[in-house]
Amino acid sequence: MTPKQVADKICESIPSHQPLIASTSTAPNGFINIHLSSALMGEVIASVIRDGPEPPCMQKMKIVVDFSSPNIAKEMHVGHLRSTIIGDSVCRILEYCGHEVHRTNHVGDWGTQFGMLITYLLEAYPDILTNPPNISDLTAIYKASKKRFDEDEAFKETSRLNVVKLQGGDAECRKIWNLLCDISRLEFQKVYDLLDVRLEEVGESFYNPMIPGVIDVLEKRKLAYDEDGMLIIKLPHFTIPLIVRKSDGGYGYDSTDMAAVHHRLFEKKADWIIYITDAGQASHFYMVFDAAKACGWLKKDSPQRLDHIGFGVVCGEDGKRFKTRSSETVRLIDLLNEAKARMATSMGERVKEGKSDFTPQEIEDASGKIGYGAVKYFDLKQNPSTNYIFNYDRMLDTKGDTAVYLLFAYARVASILRKAQFDKGKNLEELYSRAIDLVQFKHPSERALAFEVMQFGDTIRRVLKDLLPNVLCQYLSNLCVVFTDFVTKCNVLNSEEVDSRLLLCETTRRVMFKCFELLGIEALDRI
């Protein structure tokens, strides 16, 4: 049988009185075209108008998303920006689908570097506890103490002793450690506030007391064993082992993550744990996952899932890791402020050209929302695993696949609806209540738009299956293109089909709004 004959046979088996399907046809290559009935499309439009776009149905889970997770006393860098943006969007989508989401900030607040920092601070500020200095510039402190640490053996030894004291709960060391954590927290919070991201801090120190117990389990299971004084776990497919206890008896990154995954599975009773870090850490997480599975920590026949989203490097124009001229890592806060400033400049120019009537205050508010939105979208639209080149001009371009372009499309829908109400005197609420009777599809562009709207639920499913927010960006971008095509070909306000077309506009607006929201971008009615 030819593909066409197979396709014809399949078509014959579709009952002709199907209410959802208007007609079917086949192509020579065996493709089957199914034309959805207008009644079905009308129902979808009416339901979006009534209830907003609905998330797909799925089994509700308890999910830990481990993201952002910068390190205390160090600057948050562009990598942490990616983790924060991707993680926030993943959380928003999971929350929208009704899951119980724990937005976990696994900050690096424990480890040998604190011995070094404490030793340095005690040396540089002997009365640090009674007269706490203003050490807002922690990066400088970190550098100065690292220099002392590398140059001076006695300093190194005192640092080692201070780590032991800190871990033993020594009051002085604890106080200094707390001071460092508080200063860092304030800095991190500034970035989270700008980006409108919510996180719950559960740092490495939280898991520290649990490590010995977990190591016990690992040893009893004969998974961890001694090699050259270290306690390690070797897993098939990996060339390097996990080190769960160092030869000096100390615990490191691997030990903490084994304790954390144990805690999340058994105490928090998470069904799904998602880690979001740079791709360089992928094998660390795959080893942790394999070790947890080898230990039988995942329930059999359960939907339990462990995932790592590994993202690529953010590069400068030279294709190398993104840095400032002085070749330091870029401060996140500067980067966000720059995006806002550039957006404010271009909005100011539009006012001068007579294209916008924004007041300076409105520019101040909107430029941040659009500027930060542009940074987020530029990041989210790439497949997370790829590297990308950070470029303000491309990010803030009003054309092409940018948040600015998409936000303009959104403002255009909003403006049509505003004009209908204020210039044409339409009672939109009344119109919306009669959606099912009024909506019709005469022009192919109307059908195309309705069809695009109908893809929303499936898109969300696909995003979650592979944990790829870029799929949602692609969808939003397509929706904007199809909408633009619709308003170019179909006059809305001065046509006979004005009511039906306004309903299509409102449906599109609501789906677009939801997409922006799930990407962590605020859609504005006017820009």
Q: Are strands 62-66 and 272-278 parallel, antiparallel or unpaired?
A: parallel
Q: How far is the CB of 83 from ligand ARG (least distance, A)?
A: 7
User: Per-residue b/e over 193-202, b at no fewer than 16 CB within 10 Å?
Assistant: ebbebebebb
Q: Are strands 314-315 and 388-389 parallel, antiparallel or unpaired?
A: parallel
CB distance 245 to 226 below 8 Å = no
Q: How far is the CB of 82 from ligand ARG (least distance, A)?
A: 11
Dihedral, CA of residue 487, residue 489, residue 490 and residue 492, to nearest 10: 40
Q: Which is nearer to ligand ARG, 149 or 275 (CB)?
A: 275
Q: Which is nearer to ligand ARG, 163 or 523 (CB)?
A: 163
Q: How far is the CB of 141 from ligand ARG (least distance, A)?
A: 18
Q: How far is the CB of 70 from ligand ARG (least distance, A)?
A: 6
Instruction: Read off the DSSP letter of residue 311.
Output: E
What are the angstrom distances between the C-alpha of 447 and each of 33, 441, 450, 486, 506?
A: 15, 6, 5, 9, 15
Q: Which is nearer to ligand ARG, 69 or 145 (CB)?
A: 69
Q: Which is nearer to ligand ARG, 80 or 514 (CB)?
A: 80
The CB-nearest residue to ligand ARG is: 69
Beta bridge partners of 104: 66, 200
Residues that bind ligand ARG in the complex, under the rule CB under 6 A: 66, 69-71, 106, 108, 257, 260, 275, 277
Beta bridge partners of 171: none
- Name residue, tokens 């959380």: 91
Q: Which is nearer to ligand ARG, 108 or 384 (CB)?
A: 108
Q: How far is the CB of 179 from ligand ARG (least distance, A)?
A: 20
- Number of continuous H segments (helices) and E segments (strands) in the chain: 21, 12
Q: Which is nearer to ligand ARG, 69 or 158 (CB)?
A: 69
Q: Which is nearer to ligand ARG, 257 or 506 (CB)?
A: 257
Residue 10 CA to residue 475 CA, distance in Å, equals 30
Q: How far is the CB of 237 from ligand ARG (least distance, A)?
A: 20
Q: How far is the CB of 281 from ligand ARG (least distance, A)?
A: 6
